[in-house]
């Protein structure tokens, strides 16, 4: 806008306009034009304001008549008397000078207490601060120029970090073809940075010729150059370099060293230190790193870094770095749980990796194997109402599947991850089914996995994972809190989306339970070993669940009767749930009672006590348990019982293992019931054994109203063979010793009888029959 008016011989005019790349700078200028006594034109500046980078500068704040420019009609004589801009009360910029045709110029620009960030243009990832004082003067007489600049910037800083006192001095030659430049940063009297040289002003491109030196120069202010993908860039820089060539994109040649340096990758929550004295070679626009030792600050794992970092005009930074773990583990992931997160956990790897691409779109790839301490957790967010309920059939499956479910991904930018891993039993994979309750499926295993992740929400997994060890922690509504053991050999197969992985595994929860409610037989008082087997198949997010109840070590008669009673899948699922909730079998008249809650509390408490008693002593292991009694509407009742388990090796030849229970809360507290088994190794190899046992009867003696027992002795001999002919040869043939073979790992079940309550390994490993 341009507004004008005339008063006597003076023209007053006002203009308003916007400028800057984003049109954020606002100009409101008030002028007047008149003639002085010498008939020269006078353009005066009345009180005006300029808004630049969000700061308002007031021109001619005092409204005095000195803020004016005087020129003649031929424009060969121009005088700037005084043009003053103020910001607040302290900061001031003043311009004065004279111009006479093309042979004479004398211009002076003066800065007084001016904030550096208010007068410098926007630079990507760099924000300057400090207080500017000094003078910029250009003097020309005929064809001789004398440009001089001397600026002092106190509290000079970059991105909010104070670097010290900055002095800039520039002196030009007579024809303005060369400028001597001197720049220095000092902190508390110590020189941190110095650059000395020339700028050669020639067409078409000005050239630089500098020598720059660094002494404990702080790198932390330049951390934003990592574009948020690499952060916490830190350390002290020492050394020198030659800077030559295109002033806008110079070539550098030098050698720098890093002390107390490091960087972080926030998306992976890892932070690495560089070994002190790490060297960086500069060649043209490239920084070369050679055999730089990396050390993660959390776990103290180490790797070696090689590669380059390049730039173009100090923009468009690109990385091409290689990492080698040197056949040891190295931390690459250390994230915690957050809402809507795709994955989290701790990742250690052994192998080689590469970090490459522009800083705003980095790619991290890795080829190797998982290492000790790795634990990858994949949460199934907001699906507890489907997953958990399907496990116990509280709602109809079709209804559960009709629920709308949308996985919302956090919005990131700039990082692509590609991990090609050989998964080893050192690593643990955990599927977090419900973060609130803690229900999860986790285990160790073996397999090959390709994991592709980026910060825009991509998360793909390809490959197979075969379980070696694992457990399924199932918790529901304060009623069920049980830990299942996952059978080895189960598998998870990924073909893209992690939650669409195909499951095929079994998990077992073992307990001792009295089957009398199911048998409708109050005379059956013995708790028998019972396994609740959960078969998990199909899609990970919505698996197909099948329950099965097994009775290891139970007599064939009782086992056959129980299997008959459980042949209806509905009855079997109902009993499976009650075994998990209350530790008991049920009939059609039974419901959930207070025992479900107290039973879980007692089980947790006894588990903690057993950890204390068990310790790491292989010679003697103790355990304490509390088994709640049972009473149903049909008056089928069992008593509460405190149990003590003992497993000890009396000597190298004598092994003892057993369980003792004392009924409590009734009239028979003095009765001690339980099983005891003693084994004696009769030869050095442990293949010939004698066994003595005492076991509680499964059926109570009704007339005597007391618990019955069965005792027995036995003799066993074990021999390992691959065929019947080899067996006959070993028993009746020659005594020539066979070729020595690597002894096999001896399962615990072969050491004691199959009904043993606690099993342990003998001191001497022996072949197995």
State the Cα–Cα distance between residues 454 and 764, nearest whole angstrom: 53
Q: Cα 368 from chain centroid?
A: 19
- 319-335 confidence digits (pLDDT tens): 898 999 988 999 988 88
CB burial of 251-270 (b: ≥16 within 10 Å; e: otherwise) equals: bbebebbbeebbbbbbbbeb
List Cα–Cα distances, 581 to 436, 480, 511, 534, 759, in angstroms.
19, 5, 12, 15, 27
**Residue 585 and residue 595: Cα distance in Å, rounded?**
13
Mean pLDDT value across residues 300-318: 87
Please write the tens of the pLDDT for every residue from 571-627. Answer: 888 888 888 777 778 877 655 444 444 444 445 444 444 444 444 444 555 555 555
Number of residues that make up the chain = 769
**pLDDT in the model for residue 554:** 80
Who's near 518: CB < 8 A, 6+ residues apart? 562, 565, 566, 575, 585, 586, 587
pLDDT for residue 478:
60
Contact 510, 530 (CB under 8 A): yes
Closest CA to 380 of 405, 412, 404: 405
The model's pLDDT over 544-582, given as tens digits with 9 standing for 90+, comes to 888 888 988 787 888 888 888 888 888 888 888 888 777
Checking if the pLDDT of 185 tops 90, the result is: yes
Tell which residue, 26, 32, 57, has the closest CA to residue 46: 32
pLDDT in tens, 245-273: 888 888 899 999 999 999 888 888 899 99
Burial 53-66 (b: 16+ CB within 10 A, else e): eeeebebbbeeeee
- Share of residues in the chain with pLDDT > 70 (%): 76
Q: Where are the alpha helices (DSSP H) in 582-662?
A: 595-614
State mean pLDDT over 420-428: 85
Name which of 53, 15, 12 is nearest 34 in CA terms.
12
Q: Give the separation between CA 477 and CA 475, rounded to whole angstroms.
A: 7
Beta strands in 487-584, from DSSP E residues, in sequence order: 491-496, 502-513, 528-539, 544-550
C-alpha to C-alpha distance for 605 and 474, rounded to whole angstroms:
17
Neighbours of 338 (CB within 10 A): 10
Angle in degrees, CA 331, 332, 333, rounded to 5: 100
What are the pLDDT digits (tens) for 20-47?
777 888 888 888 888 888 888 888 888 8
Map residue 229 onto helix, strand or coil: coil
Question: Cα–Cα distances in Å, from 450 out to 352, 496, 728?
Answer: 15, 9, 51
**What end-to-end distance do the CA atoms of the chain give, in Å?**
103
41-45 and 25-35 as β-strands: parallel, antiparallel, unpaired? Answer: antiparallel
* pLDDT for 139 beyond 60: yes
pLDDT range class, residue 435, cuts 50, 70, 90? low
């Amino acid at each position: 806008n341009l507004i004008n008016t005339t008063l006597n011989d003076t023209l007053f005019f006002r203009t308003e306009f916007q400028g800057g790349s984003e049109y954020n700078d606002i100009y409101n200028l008030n002028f007047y034009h008149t003639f002085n006594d010498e008939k020269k034109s006078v353009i005066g500046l009345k009180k005006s304001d300029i808004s630049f980078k969000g700061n308002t500068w007031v021109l001619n704040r005092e409204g005095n008549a000195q803020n004016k420019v005087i020129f003649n009609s031929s424009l060969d004589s121009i005088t700037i008397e005084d043009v003053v801009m103020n910001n607040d009360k302290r900061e001031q910029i003043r311009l004065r000078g004279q111009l006479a045709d093309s042979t004479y110029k004398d211009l002076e620009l003066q800065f007084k207490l001016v904030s550096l960030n208010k007068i410098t243009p926007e630079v990507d990832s760099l924000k300057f601060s400090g207080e500017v004082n000094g003078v910029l003067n250009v003097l020309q007489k005929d064809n001789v120029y004398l440009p001089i600049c001397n600026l002092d910037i106190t509290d000079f800083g970059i991105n909010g970090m104070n670097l010290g006192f900055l002095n800039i001095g520039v002196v030009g030659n007579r024809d303005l073809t060369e400028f001597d430049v001197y720049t220095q940063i000092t902190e508390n009297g110590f020189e941190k940075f110095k650059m000395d040289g020339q700028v050669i002003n020639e067409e078409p491109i000005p050239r630089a010729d500098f020598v720059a030196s660094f002494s404990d120069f702080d790198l932390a202010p330049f951390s934003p150059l990592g574009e948020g993908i690499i952060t916490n860039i830190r350390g002290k820089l020492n050394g020198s370099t030659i800077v030559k060539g295109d002033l806008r994109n110079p070539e550098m040649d030098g050698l720098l060293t890093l002390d107390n340096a490091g960087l972080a990758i926030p998306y992976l929550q890892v932070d690495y230190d560089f070994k002190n004295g790490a060297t960086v070679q500069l060649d043209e626009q490239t920084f070369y790193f050679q055999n730089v030792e990396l050390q993660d600050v959390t776990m103290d794992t180490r790797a070696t870094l090689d590669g380059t970092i390049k730039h173009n005009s100090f923009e468009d930074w690109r990385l091409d770095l290689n990492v080698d773990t040197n056949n040891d583990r190295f931390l690459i992931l250390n994230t915690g749980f957050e809402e809507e997160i795709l994955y989290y956990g701790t990742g250690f790897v052994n192998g080689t990796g590469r970090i490459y691409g522009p800083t705003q779109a980095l790619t991290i790839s890795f080829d190797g194997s998982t290492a000790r301490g790795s634990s990858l957790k994949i949460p199934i967010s907001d699906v507890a109402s489907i997953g958990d309920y399907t496990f116990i059939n509280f709602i109809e499956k079709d209804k559960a599947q009709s629920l709308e479910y949308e996985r919302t991904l956090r919005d990131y930018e700039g990082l692509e991850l590609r991990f090609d891993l050989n998964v080893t039993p050192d690593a643990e994979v955990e599927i977090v089914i419900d973060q609130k309750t803690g229900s999860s499926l986790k285990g160790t295993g073996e397999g090959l996995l390709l994991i592709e992740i980026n910060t825009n929400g991509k998360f793909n997994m390809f490959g197979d994972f075969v379980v070696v060890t694992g457990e399924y922690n199932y918790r529901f509504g304060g009623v069920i809190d049980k830990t299942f053991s996952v059978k080895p050999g189960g598998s998870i197969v990924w073909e893209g989306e992690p939650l669409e992985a195909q499951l095929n595994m079994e998990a077992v929860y073992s307990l001792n339970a009295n089957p009398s409610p199911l048998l409708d037989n109050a005379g059956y008082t013995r708790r028998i070993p019972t396994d609740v087997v959960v078969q998990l198949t199909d899609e990970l997010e919505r698996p197909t669940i099948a329950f099965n109840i097994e009775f290891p070590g139970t007599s064939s008669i009782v086992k056959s009767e129980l299997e008959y009673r459980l042949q209806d899948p509905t009855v079997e699922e109902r009993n499976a749930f009650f075994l998990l909730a209350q530790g008991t079998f049920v009939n059609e008249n039974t419901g959930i009672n207070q025992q479900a809650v107290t039973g879980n509390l007692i089980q947790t408490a006894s588990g903690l006590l057993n950890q204390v008693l068990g310790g790491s002593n292989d010679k003697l292991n103790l355990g304490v348990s509390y088994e709640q009694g049972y009473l149903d509407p049909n008056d089928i009742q069992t008593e509460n019982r405190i149990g003590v388990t003992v497993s000890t090796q009396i000597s190298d030849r004598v092994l003892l293992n057993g369980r003792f229970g004392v009924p409590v809360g009734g009239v028979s507290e003095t009765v001690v019931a339980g099983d005891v088994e003693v084994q004696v190794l009769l030869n050095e190899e442990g293949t010939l054994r004698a066994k003595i046992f005492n076991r509680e009867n499964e059926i109570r003696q009704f007339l005597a109203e007391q618990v019955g027992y069965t005792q027995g002795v036995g003799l066993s001999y074990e021999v390992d063979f691959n065929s019947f002919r080899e067996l006959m040869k070993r028993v009746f043939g020659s005594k020539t010793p066979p070729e020595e073979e690597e002894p096999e790992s001896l399962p615990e079940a072969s050491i004691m009888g199959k009904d043993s309550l606690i099993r342990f390994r003998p001191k001497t490993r022996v072949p197995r029959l």
